[in-house]
Amino acid sequence: QKEVEQNSGPLSVPEGAIASLNCTYSDRVSQSFFWYRQYSGKSPELIMSIYSNGDKEDGRFTAQLNKASQYVSLLIRDSQPSDSATYLCAVGAGGTSYGKLTFGQGTILTVHP
């Protein structure tokens, strides 16, 4: 079983729609959760972080965390072609793990006009 698993892509949505990206993780003691966006040929860029159960909103992005289900998701509202990228879910163990992040395999999102 993969430690961090993302919904298989690629995901294609029309402009203006909601894009839903999902991630499950296996380590119950995980404490921090991140979504990174990576454009082709570029480095990962942090777009959302979440640490407690519930929703966290930042502009068009909403991260949702359910620790009991070991599930974290990212919703992108009013999707734009500029949102087309690979989205990486990352899970941090916290504590004395020195910030070690485990990444999922990524989901490619394409937003078409």
Partner 1 sequence: DTAVSQTPKYLVTQMGNDKSIKCEQNLGHDTMYWYKQDSKKFLKIMFSYNNKELIINETVPNRFSPKSPDKAHLNLHINSLELGDSAVYFCASRDGSPLDTQYFGPGTRLTVL
Q: Which residues, at least 6 apart from 18, have a Cβ–Cβ distance to it below 8 Å?
A: 75, 76, 77, 78, 79
Tokens of 56: 């966290």
Q: What value does the CA radius of gyration of the chain take, rounded to a whole number of Å?
A: 14
Among 44, 62, 63, 64, binds partner 1 (CB under 8 A): 44
Question: Residue 86 interacts with partner 1 (CB under 8 A)?
Answer: yes
Cβ neighbors of 57 (< 8 A, separation 6 or more) are none
Q: What are the structure tokens assigned to 63, written together?
A: 């991260």
Task: Enumerate residues 1-30 that contact partner 1 by CB under 8 A.
Answer: none
- Interface region with partner 1, contact rule CB under 8 A, candidates 19-27, 39-47, 62-70, 74-82: 39-47
Residues touching partner 1, count (CB under 8 A): 22
Binding site for partner 1 (CB under 8 A): 32, 34, 38, 42-46, 49, 51, 86, 88, 92, 94, 98-103, 105-106
